[in-house]
Each structure stands twice: as C-alpha cells, then as structure tokens.
C-alpha cells in the first residue's frame, strides 16, 4: 500500500491538469448539445441526467437538481422507464447531499422498483447502495447493513467490481461508526482490493477508502499513519476536483492537528473545509465543521463560543435527522455546560446524548457520554452548593460512570487489535 501511495502522489500533478480540463469539458459539451438540439426525445433525457450527474459531482446541487427534474418530466412524458429511474436516482442523490433524507429515500425506492421491473441487476444493486447510505446517515445501521448486503450479493453475482468495492466501503463505514474497527478495516481493505484489481484508482471512492482507513488509524491513536492516508486522499480529491471529499479530507487533517495540540492549524483546516461545505450546500458537513470548531474553542477556554457553535451544529443535525451527529452535539454541549457551571442543562444534554447513543449502538459515543456524566457528577460532588451528605453519593456515581466509560474504551481498543 505504501508503494501505491507514493506512485499516486508523484502522478497527482499530471492528473490535476487533465481532470480540470475534463470536468469542465464534459459540462460544456453536454450543455452545447442540449442547446443545439430541440428534439424532446430519450437522448435528451439521457444527456440531462448526465449533465445533472456532473453538476452534482462538482457540488453544484442547484443545477444538478434542475437537470434531474427536467429529465424526469420529459422521461415521464415519453414513458421512458429507464430514463425515469435514472432521473429518480439523480434527484435522490442531490437530496441526500442536501440533507433531505425523506425525499432521497422516496426517489431511490421509486428508482429501485422500476429497475427491478426492467431486470437491470446492476442498477438494482446501485439503488440498494444508495438506500443503504441514507439509512446510515440517519443512524439506522441495521437497515443500512441489510441494504449493503443486498447490493453486494447482486454485484458479486454479476461481477460488478465497482459495486463490490462500494458495498464493502459502506459496510466498513457502519462498522466504524459502531466502533467495530477490526471489521471496518477488513471491509475497507476489501474495497481497496476490488478497486485495484479493476484498475480504478483515480476516482473519489478510491480516495474515500484511504480517508476511511485514515479514520480508523486516527481513532486508534496512530496519527502519523492517519495523516499519511488523509493526505493521499486529499491529493486525489483535489486532482479530480471532488469538492465534497476535499472538504472531508481537510476536516480530517484538522482532526490530526487537533489531537496533536496544534489548535490554530486545526482551525485553519476546519475553516477551509467549512467554506467548501457552505459553497456546495452540504448541511451535514457544515454541522460537522461547526462541531469540530466548537471542540477547539472549548480546548482554548472560549466556552461561550464553543457553546454557541455546538448549538449551531445541533440545529442542522436535527433538521437533517442525523442521529449520530445529534448525539455527539448533545454530549459535547453537556461537557461545555459542565465547565460553565450550568449543571442542570449539562445533565439534560448528556442524558439525551447517551440515550441516542444507545439507540444507534455507538460504543464510541457511549464512552464519551459516560465520561461526560462522570465529569458532571464529579463537579457536583465538589461544589459548595451541594449538601455535604449528598457529595459522597455524587462522587460514587461519578466513579461508576467513569468505569463504564473505561469499559467502552477498552472494548473499542480490543476490537481494534483483534484483526
């Protein structure tokens, strides 16, 4: 893998030049054909969908959605079922990036139904993959795994290497969110292997797999290995002009600097990531950036700014229904409120975060939630406002919460070394 990374990095300058020309060329070419042809036929549907896809790839969701809706209307008028299905898919993909998960699921289930009727196995598998990704973002991990498994089975039957790689990566993401790092790495490596065997090493999913492997090393505390994978991912994403993944890579690099105590560098990368996410309308990404920046403000002792930024993150997460993000924000809010001596508010937030963490089965968040409650009860135990006879009870409860936090941490560490 190290040799592969070195090869990729030495070639990226040349890839960047080619990809910049290619991306704009595709959009310009499709727009020109659509302008010069007035025929309202199936070819126009196909071209509108292709153009919408290209717009979505570069983060222009407004134009991507407009093309998808135009394609859908024309396809329905022509009773062009395959075109209708592809339009549903394109619209659903844009909705997902905009955080409209209900609308996205509706579009992808509609596409799935048509593709099953047409016997288009590859596209059926793709629909399952898209549906799985939405369930994952909603924190419904069992349904997400179920749909990824359905996609993987079909893709293996038809030897669709790209689909196989995508399903393995998706399942790896879910295991990572659940804190099962050994299973996550196994699926990520299977995804890389599938991509490499097909020679598909210059696309965003290949870059994102490196990013995800970096995430696992980051969670295991191996920051040099994590940074190496993040930088590889960032370079590929910049080269192919994928703004969504570029923003994610910048955010991840910010996380490394955060852990190393380089807070100004961390904020610099988070701000660069946030700027891109705001430009492309990535609501969930914006929420993640706010959350990351809030944690830095807390570390710098700027608790008021931290609190405001966490609330900004929570508001967006609730709008898009991101349970993992909501749980994270509540736990972080509870920790900051503890430091501001807003103990009742802190307890409410921590309990809400812990409850959601249990619902989605996130060991990592359970670890953080119990750590937050331990800190809260320890603060109450040492507060002059607490009656002396109750201080021991709070101290004992703090100890129990701390033990639970350590238990989940040990479980995560054990899973990380089992591979």
Higher-confidence residue of 397 and 37: namely 397
Q: Is the pLDDT of residue 306 over 50?
A: yes
- Which pLDDT score, from 0 to 100, does residue 416 have? 56
Helix axis angle, 263-280 relative to 243-259, nearest 10°?
160
Q: What average pLDDT is seen over the chain?
A: 89
Higher-confidence residue of 15 and 241: namely 241
- Specify the DSSP class assigned to residue 203: S
Q: What is the mean pLDDT of residues 27-48?
A: 85
Per-residue pLDDT of 323-359, as tens digits, reads: 999 999 999 999 999 999 999 999 999 999 999 999 9
Question: Which of 197-206, 234-243, 303-312 comes out lowest in average pLDDT?
Answer: 197-206
Q: What is the mean pLDDT of residues 60-88?
A: 93
Asked whether residue 37 is assigned to any structural domain, the reply reads yes
Specify the number of domains making up the chain. 1
**Type and span of the H or E element at 24:** helix 2-36
Asked whether residue 49 is assigned to any structural domain, the reply reads yes
Q: Which CATH number does the domain housing residue 39 bear? A: 1.25.40.10
The percent of residues above 70 in pLDDT, for the chain, comes to: 93
As a whole number of angstroms, the distance between CA 175 and CA 207 comes to 19
For the stretch 389-398, contacts whose Cβ atoms lie closer than 8 Å and that sit 24 or more positions apart, written own/partner, are 398/373, 398/374
- Which pLDDT score, from 0 to 100, does residue 34 have? 78
As a whole number of angstroms, the distance between CA 3 and CA 361 comes to 37
DSSP assignment of 56-77 equals HHTT-HHHHHHHHHHHHHHHHH
Q: Is the pLDDT of residue 86 over 50?
A: yes
Asked whether residue 54 is assigned to any structural domain, the reply reads yes
As a whole number of angstroms, the distance between CA 280 and CA 271 comes to 14
Per-residue pLDDT of 202-242, as tens digits, reads: 788 889 899 989 989 998 899 999 999 999 899 989 988 88
- Which pLDDT score, from 0 to 100, does residue 373 have? 93
Asked whether residue 178 is assigned to any structural domain, the reply reads no
Q: Which residues span the domain enclosing 80?
A: 23-118
- Which pLDDT score, from 0 to 100, does residue 39 have? 80
Asked whether residue 90 is assigned to any structural domain, the reply reads yes
Q: Which residues in 224-237 are b (16+ Cβ under 10 Å) and which e?
A: eebbbbbbbbbbbb
Asked whether residue 225 is assigned to any structural domain, the reply reads no
Asked whether residue 89 is assigned to any structural domain, the reply reads yes
Per-residue pLDDT of 368-418, as tens digits, reads: 999 999 999 999 999 888 898 888 888 999 899 999 999 988 888 776 555
- Which pLDDT score, from 0 to 100, does residue 16 have? 40
Q: Is the pLDDT of residue 1 over 50?
A: no
Per-residue pLDDT of 99-152, as tens digits, reads: 899 999 999 999 999 999 999 999 999 999 999 999 998 989 999 999 999 999
As a whole number of angstroms, the distance between CA 61 and CA 121 comes to 28
Q: Is the pLDDT of residue 18 over 70?
A: no
- Specify the DSSP class assigned to residue 79: T
Tokens of 220: 């295991």
Asked whether residue 270 is assigned to any structural domain, the reply reads no
Tokens of 110: 């509609």
> Residue 38: which pLDDT band, with cuts at 50, 70 and 90?
confident
Measured CA to CA in angstroms, residue 271 lies from 250, 327, 333 at distances of: 9, 23, 21
Q: What is the mean pLDDT of residues 297-304?
A: 94
């Amino acid at each position: 893998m190290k040799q592969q990374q070195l090869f990729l990095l030495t070639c990226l300058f040349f890839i960047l030049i080619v990809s910049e020309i290619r991306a704009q060329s595709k959009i310009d070419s499709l727009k020109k054909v659509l302008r010069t042809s007035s025929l309202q036929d199936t070819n126009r549907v196909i071209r509108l969908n292709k153009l919408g896809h290209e717009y979505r790839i570069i983060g222009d969701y407004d134009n991507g959605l407009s093309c998808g809706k135009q394609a859908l209307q024309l396809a329905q008028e022509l009773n062009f079922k395959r075109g209708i299905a592809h339009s549903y898919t394109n619209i659903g993909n844009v909705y997902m990036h905009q955080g409209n998960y209900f609308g996205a699921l509706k579009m992808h289930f509609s596409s799935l139904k048509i593709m099953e009727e047409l016997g288009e196995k590859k596209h059926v598998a793709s629909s399952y993959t898209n549906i799985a990704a939405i369930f994952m973002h909603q924190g419904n991990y069992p349904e997400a795994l179920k749909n990824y498994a359905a996609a993987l089975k079909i893709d293996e039957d038809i030897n669709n290497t790209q689909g196989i790689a995508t399903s393995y990566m998706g399942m790896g993401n879910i295991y990572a969110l659940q804190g099962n790092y050994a299973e996550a790495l196994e699926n990520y490596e299977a995804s890389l292997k599938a991509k490499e065997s097909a020679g598909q090493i210059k696309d965003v999913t290949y870059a994102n797999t490196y990013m995800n492997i970096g995430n696992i090393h980051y969670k295991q505390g191996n920051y040099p290995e994590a940074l190496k994978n993040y930088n590889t991912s960032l370079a590929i994403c910049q080269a192919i002009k994928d703004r969504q993944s570029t923003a994610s890579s910048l955010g991840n690099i910010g996380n490394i600097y955060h852990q190393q105590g380089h807070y100004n560098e961390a904020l610099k990368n988070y701000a660069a990531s946030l700027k891109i996410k705001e430009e492309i309308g990535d609501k969930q990404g914006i929420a993640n950036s706010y959350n990351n920046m809030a944690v830095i403000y807390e570390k710098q002792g700027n608790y008021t700014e931290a609190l405001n930024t966490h609330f900004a993150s929570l508001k967006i997460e609730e709008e898009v229904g991101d349970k993992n993000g909501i749980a994270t924000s509540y736990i972080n809010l509870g920790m900051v409120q503890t430091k501001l001596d807003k103990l009742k508010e802190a307890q409410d937030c921590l309990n809400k975060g812990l409850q959601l963490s249990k619902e989605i089965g996130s060991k990592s968040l359970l670890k953080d939630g119990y750590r937050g409650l331990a800190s809260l009860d320890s603060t109450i135990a040492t507060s002059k406002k607490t009656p002396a006879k109750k201080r021991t009870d709070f101290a004992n409860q703090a100890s129990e919460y701390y033990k639970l936090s350590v238990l989940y941490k040990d479980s995560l560490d054990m899973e990380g070394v089992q591979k």
